[in-house]
Amino acid sequence: MQLNFQLLGSVNILLPFLKGFLINAGLIIGIGAQNAFILQLGVKQHYVFITTTLCVLLDTTLITIGVFGIGFLVAQHPHFLNAIRYAGILFLIGYGLISLRTAYTTTGLHTVHNAPPPSFMIIFLTLLGVSLLNPQVYLDTVFIVGSLGSNYQQSGKILFIIGSVIASTLWFFALGYGGKKFSPILSKKRPWKIVNSITAFIMFAMAVSLVFVKIEI
């Protein structure tokens, strides 16, 4: 009987961790601007480790803000998310056009490799754009994940955040290094054209969705 109580206690302790992991995994694993960008960097083998790590840090920051209840500050300023939406529309259209041009003007990734790699600052600013210029990011991490994690006590909140961060870490590193591993295949003319065409479609689709999205907190 005592062993059963100990086992039950261990399961209860792990529940916030498992809940954080599963909820964030369900939200993060999907085709989006950020994921498409990380996959492209993986295929190009540009700054894979640092960019995937930055994605994890961004997720960690936003989720922590939500879990500890700081999200209400954003909720009190709805114009903030509307400003993000309009900036995101312009950014996504611009990035989509660049991807579309790349798809039809390069003969394969070797032409990109032959050119000087972009500076890290350009990559960093682009990463911030695809990560933060989308109101859905705040709704998912700060308000959905964060509100669910905020119901726990202090130790439960920490475990919830750890579970969420592990989900983000596994996904982003799998995406970045998966693209790097399959770079010899994806860097050929036809696959590289497909990758950039899909990326352009994702960017345009997200831009259109932001035009019609209604920001509600």
The mean pLDDT value for 109-118 works out to 58
What pLDDT shows up at residue 74? 60
The answer to whether residue 26 sits within a structural domain is yes
Report pLDDT for 29: 77
pLDDT, tens digit, for every residue of 68-91?
876 566 656 667 777 777 888 888
Is the four-CA dihedral 189, 190, 191, 192 of positive or negative sign?
Answer: positive
Q: Is residue 153 part of a domain?
A: yes
Write out pLDDT tens, residues 125-153.
Answer: 999 988 888 777 887 788 778 878 888 88
* pLDDT given for residue 12 in this prediction: 62
Domain assignment present for residue 35? The answer is yes
Structural domain includes residue 91: yes
Condensed to tens digits (0 to 9), the pLDDT of residues 174-204 reads 999 998 888 888 777 788 788 888 888 888 8
User: pLDDT (tens digit, 9 = 90+) per residue, 46-61?
Assistant: 899 999 999 999 999 9
- Does 105 have pLDDT greater than 80? no
- Per-residue model confidence (pLDDT) at position 7: 43
Domain of 162, in residue numbers: 15-212
Examine the pLDDT at 124 and tell me if it is beyond 90: yes
pLDDT at residue 45 in the model: 86
Per the domain annotation, does 3 fall within a domain?
no
pLDDT at residue number 48 = 93
State the CB neighbour count (10 A cutoff) for residue 6. 10
Tokens (6 digits) for 1: 């009987």
Please tell me the distance from the alpha carbon of residue 141 to that of residue 193, in angstroms, as a whole number.
32
What digits encode the pLDDT tens for the residues 32-43?
788 888 988 888
Note whether residue 4 is domain-resident: no
Residue (of 135, 96, 146, 119) closest to 50 by Cα position? 119
Confidence of residue 211 (pLDDT cuts 50, 70, 90): confident
Q: Could you give the number of structural domains in the chain?
A: 1
Kindly report the average pLDDT of the chain as a whole number.
Answer: 80
Q: Identify whether 116 is part of a domain.
A: yes
pLDDT at 56: 95
Per the domain annotation, does 10 fall within a domain? no
